[in-house]
Amino acid sequence: MKKVEIESFVKSFLIFFLSQLILSSGLFFMEYKRELKSLDELIFSEMRICSFDLECPKYTIDFAPLEREKLYKLHKTDARLSAFFTISGASQNALEIYLPRVKYEQELALLKSRVVVEYLFVVFILIILSVVFALYTLWPLRNALRLTEEFIKDILHDYNTPLATLRLNASMLKEEIGESKKLQRIENSVQNILNLQGNLRAYLHNHKSQKSSFALKHFIEERVALLQGSSKNREFFIDIEDVVLTTNQEAFARIIDNLLSNALKYAEGSVVIRIEYRATLLKIVDNAKGIKNPSRVFERFYKEQERGVGIGLHIVKKLSDSLGIKISLESEVGVGTTFFLELKALL
Query: pLDDT, tens digit, for every residue of 151-185?
Result: 777 676 677 777 778 777 778 887 778 777 777 77
- List, in order, residues 6 or more apart from 263 with CB less than 8 Å away: 271, 273, 284, 286, 288, 337
Most confident of 14-23, 57-66, 137-146, 266-275: 14-23
Q: Which amino acid is at 177?
A: I
Please give the average per-residue pLDDT across 193-198, as a whole number: 72
Return the CATH fold of 208-346.
Heat Shock Protein 90 (3.30.565)
In this prediction, residue 206 has a pLDDT band, given cuts at 50, 70 and 90, of low
pLDDT for 142 equals 78
Pair 141, 8: CB distance under 8 Å: yes
Work out the average pLDDT over 269-284. Answer: 78
Q: Mean pLDDT, to the nearest integer, of 247-255?
A: 86
Name which of 116, 126, 104 is nearest 32 in CA terms.
Answer: 116
Whole-structure pTM value: 0.54
> CATH 3.30.565.10 region(s) of the chain?
208-346
Kindly tell me if the per-residue pLDDT of 279 is higher than 80: no
Nearest of 188, 169, 241, 244 to residue 212 by alpha carbon: 244
Q: Give the C-alpha separation, 253 to 205, whole Å.
A: 14
